Structure 1
Amino acid sequence: MVSTHPTGVQDSGSKYLPQISSTQTTPSPNQQLLPLTAKVNLHDHLEIGGCDVKNLVAQYGTPLYILDEATLRAACEQYRESFKKYYPGESQVLYASKAWNCLAICAIAASEGLGIDVASGGELHTALTAGVEPEKIYLHGNNKSRQELTYAAQAGCTVMADNWHDLNTLVQIAQENSGEISLPIRIMLRLTPGIDCHTHEYIRTGHLDSKFGFDPGDLDEVFAFVSQQSVLNCAGVHAHIGSQIFERQPHRDLAALMVQWLTQAAGYGLNLTEVNVGGGLGITYTESDDPPSIEEWVKPICEVIQQQCELANLPLPKILCEPGRSLVANACVTAYTIGSSKEVPEIRTYIAVDGGMSDNPRPITYQSVYRTVVANKMSAPITETVTIAGKHCESGDVLIKNAQLAKTEPGDILVIMTTGAYNYSMASNYNRLPRPAAVLVGNTEANLILRRETYDDLIRQDCLPERLKKG
């Protein structure tokens, strides 16, 4: 899909459009740079979900998160159907909503049959308000408050017990129960598998030096304790080895290890019927990224669990998984308006946009790399190498270094790809910038799912003591 001008210079945008092979009906969304519905329209503008990005910007302003409903639903469907295809037992896909938790996304995931993985009382409240069935909500966290644990227990959700503090607090809550909680409280045990993988240090969670989960040496004590608590119903075990993973072998190793844990638990009279293999499937952020497809990630996990259960003479457990990034990241782009520029002779040219680290903190936090296009001149030839800077009072507020772009001018619309995961959810009000709006697009229709914050929103929680007020 790459077109070339007579000069031999590539178009700035067409090379990033979704690539569909002759053997695919729908590509795996996690392998695409732009949403599945992305195309260049007759005005030479980027179009997503049948909506011209330039028109969206005119209506909703910038920065603007643009979420393609068709791409999000396709990812949900591919996870769901892949388990049906390769696993004869029960399965349940959960959306790891820390990637982007809001009412609309939780509602879409639930409508596709997914449950929701939440990591706080706030995420739990959002999922419940969106109409997600409590029995399909799983509460995570390495330091859950008593209030959060009580909220989950009262709602009838499953609690991922991460440590002794969780277990002891849950037992206390159950014993002090005055009728608001249906006993026993349903839990799963999060265990640290000791499996490392090649990903960023901050997003590795399966190796032994991790804040998450019970250590392998504690398992006998944990299983013994849980087996003696009539107020707790332990449904299974959970482990997660990290995020943005391209390797397949670590998840095969994890699947085999989890079956061993089922056998070990059985020695304490625990009939565990669920295994949650976590998430972590990587996505395409740049052309050099080559993650497995959703189906290629699911298949070996299903095969290993079946093989190991047969060897151990165990019935097939229900498999749960928790994709987040690979569901929502590639379904979204962020649109900005280009403003000032600065040329540093023989060093670099800076192009500044009206957002930055407050709406996408991943480059400054993880040194994450993105791709970008000029959405209102998609076929213009690439003629510039520039650094995309944000507007914050911070030298490190740089979104992309050495971006290859068409010639730009103030007022052009810059779109950065694959921004659906950990962008809005980690957004801040640094420099008191209001957080952006988000729209859901599909079938030529755009719906606001997150309003743009106002200056009044920024001071809504401020309190000014009377003695400091003038007059």
Structure 2
Amino acid sequence: MTESLSKLSNEGFNELPSHVWPRNACRQEDGVVTIAGVPLPEIAEEYGTPVFVVDEDDFRSRCRDMAEAFGGPSNVHYASKAFLTRRIARWVDEEGLSLDVASENELRLALAANFPAARITAHGNNKTASFLRLCVTAGVGHVVIDSAQELELLDMIARSENATQEVWIRVKPGVEAHTHEFIATSHEDQKFGFSLASGSAWAAAVAAQNAENLELSGLHCHVGSQVFDADGFKLAAERVLELYSRIHAELGISLPYLDLGGGYGIAYTEDEQPLDVNAVAQDLLTSVGKMAAELGIEAPTVVVEPGRAIAGPSTVTVYEVGTIKDVHVDDETTRRYISVDGGMSDNIRPALYGSEYDARVVSRFTDEEPITSRVVGSHCESGDIIINNAQYPSDVATGDFMGVAATGAYCYAMSSNYNLFGRPAVVSVRSGQVTPMLKRETIDDFLARESFEA
């Protein structure tokens, strides 16, 4: 857990950083924060806390921003692992984007939402035969091959279904993005993909081209998550394009697609800035075109996979403040512990990655002087910390509603039932209206899953 200290004045604490909070969030004259015209305290009172509140227009607008930056919606694949429901899938479909799935159940949910299978790409390092067969029978657009074993299995399944499956090869270009070790995905010593350096990526491309029931149409790579340095994307593209050149020269084919993954960073705190997507896209597409020209090959269509950059900023988690405790740290420091009624079961990222967030009281103005504070959850775990070290107004009180911004990606998706906490409700807001998206889990849900006879 990091020890950075966020210092906010009273006035600053009441302001909402526009680059962190949803685009339709604002604080009203009475101090209450609204999103899309809906007061967050009203949502908290109706649906309970914690509750995830998704700004639908914010989500949709970021879909359009990505589409504009990368040459059209067909070139943008929403990474559903960030957060997926049937409603989310329908938004993505209506905005014209494609969809990435990383499990059989993600695929089944997308199909249940009537998402066009031809615009779905399937990922995963350990795809089961059941998952691969569903990809083939449902007509999934692309399967990203992650191992030689998978390539053989998919070819066999496609043959048994009398079908031809279009595939991309996942390549490790040996580019390590400046990110947390657990979410860096392009270095050699990790589970994903085929190595450029060892030659296994070339061997996989040859095997895919020779497979009777597979059609090789592109290569894929991913440099990491929450990346702010665009140079990593460019270097990865340049290295992978060298494989395109070899495939063209020795196999006599031109692959139409290059999928450069996602990982575009967002701002979680006031002092961070999100990646400039337009600038990165322009730089990246120019670089790919230039490199392809130098290699004497036709530039492939660049595909990207944003998940966090679309879903993350769209959502706020609302908690109710409970116990407040002052803890003596040393002779000079007392830290105030502000407990809320959720924590690591609905947001594991601070405990897992040391992630930082922006949290504000959303039910009123706060007026008192700031003091050293820590926002913690309600779980039986000392590492259950949401905001590790910040200066919060001393009048934050039990019963206040506190909103944590930028929780749309990898919070609900990675949620758990630790301490038998039920996963929170999720609602979307648009034009002053609230639409339930996911129900809150209750003890009845837990008991219904048990196989127990009295």
Tell me if both proteins adopt one fold, taking TM over 0.5 as the criterion. Answer: yes
**2:181 is aligned with 1:205:** no
Structure-to-structure mapping, 1:220-259, within 5 angstroms: 220-259=202-241
What is the rounded CA distance, in whole Å, between the counterparts of 1:382 and 1:420 in structure 2? 31
Q: Which residue of 2 aligns with 1:462?
A: 450
Give matches, 1:4-23, under 5 Å: 9-18=9-18
User: Matched residues in 1 for 2:42 and 2:274: separation?
Assistant: 33
Residues 12 and 374, structure 1, Cα contact 8 Å, conserved in 2: no
Give the C-alpha shift of residue 384 in structure 1: 3.0
- How far the C-alpha of 1:382 sits from its partner, in A, is 4.8
Task: Indicate if the aligned counterparts of 1:438 and 1:450 stay in contact, CA closer than 8 A.
Answer: yes
Contact 2:336-2:373 at 8 Å conserved across structures: yes
Task: Mark the runs of 5 or more structure 1 residues left unpaired by the alignment.
Answer: 1-7, 19-31
Equivalence map 1:444-459=2 (5 Å): 444-459=432-447
Letter of the structure 2 residue corresponding to residue 238 of structure 1: H
Q: How does 1:101-250 map to 2 (within 5 A)?
A: 101-157=84-140, 158-177=142-161, 183-216=163-196, 217-250=199-232
The counterpart of 2:326, out of the listed 343, 354, 357, is: 343
**Contact 2:357-2:387 at 8 Å conserved across structures:** yes
Find the aligned partners of 1:262 and 1:97 in 2 and give their Cα distance: 28
CA distance in 2, matches of 1:319, 1:365: 32
1:91 positional shift: 5.3
Aligned residue runs from structure 1 range 216-365, under 5 A = 216=196, 217-266=199-248, 267-345=250-328, 346-365=333-352
Q: Is the 8 A contact 1:374 1:405 kept in 2?
A: no
Equivalenced residues, count? 438
Which of the numbers 7, 19, 30 marks the counterpart of 1:43? 30
Is the alpha carbon distance of 1:117 and 1:293 closer, same or farther for their aligned partners in structure 2, counting shifts above 3 Å?
same
CA distance in 2, matches of 1:194, 1:174: 31
CA apart distance, 1:176? 2.5
- C-alpha RMSD of the superposition: 1.7
Aligned residue in 2 for 1:29: none
**Does the CA-based 8 Å contact 1:38-1:48 persist in structure 2?**
yes
Structure 2: which amino acid aligns with 1:236?
G
- Contiguous gaps of at least 5 residues in structure 2: 1-7
- Give how far 1:354 is off: 0.6
Q: CA deviation digits over 1:137-192, x for unaligned, max 9?
A: 01100011111011111111111101112101112212333x5xxx2111111011
Shift of 1:381: 4.7
CA distance in 2: counterparts of 1:462 and 1:386, whole angstroms: 40
CA shift, 1:15, in A, is: 3.4
Give 2:358's aligned residue.
371
- State the distance in 1 between where 2:17 and 2:383 align: 30
Please give the alpha-carbon distance, in whole angstroms, between the structure 2 residues aligned to 1:398 and 1:355: 10
Residue identity matched to 2:137:
Q
Distance 1:84 1:220, change over 3 A: closer
CA distance in 1, matches of 2:74, 2:237: 14
Alpha-carbon distance, 1:102 to partner: 1.1
Q: Is the 8 A contact 1:245 1:291 kept in 2?
A: no
Amino acid at match of 1:384: I
Quick one: distance in 1 between partners of 2:284 and 2:74? 12
Counterpart of 2:212, as a letter, is S
Match of 1:25 in 2: none
The range that moved more, 328-337 or 267-276, is: 267-276
CA distance in 1, matches of 2:344, 2:220: 33
In structure 1, give the amino acid aligned to 2:160: E
In structure 1, distance between residues paired with 2:222 and 2:308: 14
